[in-house]
Each structure stands twice: as C-alpha cells, then as structure tokens.
Amino acid sequence: MNESDSRPLSLPDGSVVHRDPEIHSVLAVLYDRLGLPDEVDKHFREAIRLAPKDPQIANNYGAFLCQHGRTDEGVKRFLESAVNPLYRTPEFAYSNAGVCLRAAKRYDEAVTARRNALKFLGSNPQREADLGEALTAAANGVVTAEAKEAFDRALKLDADDFRARYFA
C-alpha cells in the first residue's frame, strides 16, 4: 500500500474515511469494549474489504461473530485464517472454531474442528484435552473410550493438565 492509500479521505460533509484496515480493526475492538456491536460489525467488514486476505483480522472478526450467535459466519472466518499461509498461529483459528461450535451446541462439528487441529498441527496437551472435551460433550457428558484416550494422551504430554486430570 502506498502512502496516499493509507491517508484518510475527507468527504464533502467533513467526515473522514480511513483507508487503513488496521485502523478499522482497532476501531472494531474499541467499539466491542464499548458494547456497540453494530459499529464493531461495520468496522470489521470494512477492514476485511480493505484487506481480504489478512488472517488476523478474519480471526478477530470470527470471534466477534461467534460471540454474537453468528456461528456459521464465524467458523468460516476462522477456517479462512487457519489455512492462510501468512497466519502464524493457525492453531488459534482451529481452536476458536471448536470453541464457537461447542458454544452453539454443535458438538459433532466441534469434534471435527478439534480433530483437524490435531491433524494439521500435531499433538499437544491442550489439543488432546480439547478433543476429549468435545467428544465428551458430543456424548452428552459421558467420557467415552475415545475421549478417555485423548485425555490420557494429554496427561502423558503434561501430567498437570487440569482438564485431562479432571476427566481421565
């Protein structure tokens, strides 16, 4: 982006339009803290319009969408971020998708998201425990054999993992 692209544009009515996606992303976060969801949505949409391939903005917008019951849209944004080669922490996007789906009580899909995180990112205590929790939720709170195996793998990697210790 050249310097003239990032400078604000003054409109005839005196209002200013920013052409920098980071400004809109920061404004979205600010408005979220102020409890103004319409403004949050407006600024995230503008940030995405200005930087459609920015994985951090997409992931942050996905979190906002999920918090406001827009699960399908949020998961779509998380998965876009997860597969973007510029995103340094795709595990967060996969994890966020799983959290979003679980909050929406879409447990089977949450299990799939957790399995994808393990498949693409490898095993670690958190991902194993996340899978165990998702499997337990999908089984109406019953710790299935598969869930127990996931919790056992988490404990093998980190004997202090509190979720794995609770469920195992």
Burial 105-137 (b: 16+ CB within 10 A, else e): ebbebbbbbbbebbeeeeebbbbbbbbbbbbbb
What is the pLDDT confidence band of residue 125, given thresholds at 50, 70 and 90? very high
Q: Are the C-beta atoms of 6 and 19 separated by less than 8 Å?
A: yes
Question: What's the CA gap between 168 and 163, in Å, rounded?
Answer: 8
What confidence score (pLDDT) does residue 19 get?
Answer: 80
**Average pLDDT for 73-97:** 91
Q: 81, 59 in Cβ contact below 8 A?
A: yes
Does pLDDT of 44 surpass 50?
yes
In whole numbers, what is the pLDDT of the chain averaged over residues?
89
